[in-house]
A and B are shown apart, each in its own frame.
Chain A
Amino acid sequence: DVKVTQSSRYLVKRTGEKVFLECVQDMDHENMFWYRQDPGLGLRLIYFSYDVKMKEKGDIPEGYSVSREKKERFSLILESASTNQTSMYLCASSLGTSGTLEQYFGPGTRLTVT
């Protein structure tokens, strides 16, 4: 079974703190994604990566950055956390080949910024 793990299920941080959310997948997937989920808005893509050292902006990258130093690990960084970044963060991965590229999701990290 594909497994995508995230470093924390719940996280509470203060405004202005630097926050790291870690995601690891164990299926040698090429593609990795970070989403945030807010009620009524569904999931919105923050950043994604198709390869090591590679990153692309998604639909809402402002206030975030990412790092992919190893194929299996994709980190989301909040440089200076703000209250409007309180949300559920979901990481996903998928194979980099053609066909039905189902994304496999981690359990999510619920981040609260106070």
Chain B
Amino acid sequence: AQKITQTQPGMFVQEKEAVTLDCTYDTSDPSYGLFWYKQPSSGEMIFLIYQGSYDQQNATEGRYSLNFQKARKSANLVISASQLGDSAMYFCALEAAGNKLTFGGGTRVLVKP
């Protein structure tokens, strides 16, 4: 069974600082993927970054980077230089075979000016 856990229900971050969102997972599949999505108050889900289980390097996309520690089964999202527009819900998702996603409960981030 797939399981994914986000232990931080909410957090504040100062504008221009970096923030790390925690995500741990459990799966018995040898091949899997980790996704991060952002959901602003408007409700749409925005894809941020992806890491495959066999990828050698940690994924980066602009200000987003994924700290993937396979042995610890963690895939934390790092947002550098936070902006007010980063205030949103953030979801980590574990991909099983067939592109099925299991989502964590989410972390609400509020960026303070």
Chain A residues at the B interface, C-beta cutoff of 8 Å: 31, 33, 35, 40-45, 48, 50, 58-59, 88, 90, 92, 94, 100-105, 107-108
Contacts and interface: CB of A to CB of B under 8 A. Distances in A.
B93 to A, nearest CB: 8
B25 interface: no
A43 B93 CA distance: 9
Nearest to B33: A100
- The main secondary structure of chain B at its interface with chain A is strand
A40 B9 contact: yes
B99 A42 contact: no
A50 B44 CA distance: 23
B13 to A, nearest CB: 21
Nearest to A101: B99
B21 to A, nearest CB: 13
Contacts of B68: none
Interface residues of B, number: 24
A59 B98 CA distance: 14
Pairs of residues from A and B, 10 with the lowest C-beta to C-beta distance, nearest first: A42-B103, A105-B45, A101-B99, A43-B103, A42-B105, A100-B50, A102-B47, A108-B43, A40-B105, A42-B104
Nearest to A100: B50
Contact of B91 (A33, A43, A48, A100): A43
A58 B52 contact: no
B86 to A, nearest CB: 19
B43 A88 contact: yes
B103 A107 contact: no
A110 B44 CA distance: 12
B63 to A, nearest CB: 18
B43 A107 contact: yes
A42 B91 contact: yes
A90 B44 CA distance: 9
Contacts of A101: 33, 95, 99
Contacts of A40: 9, 105-106
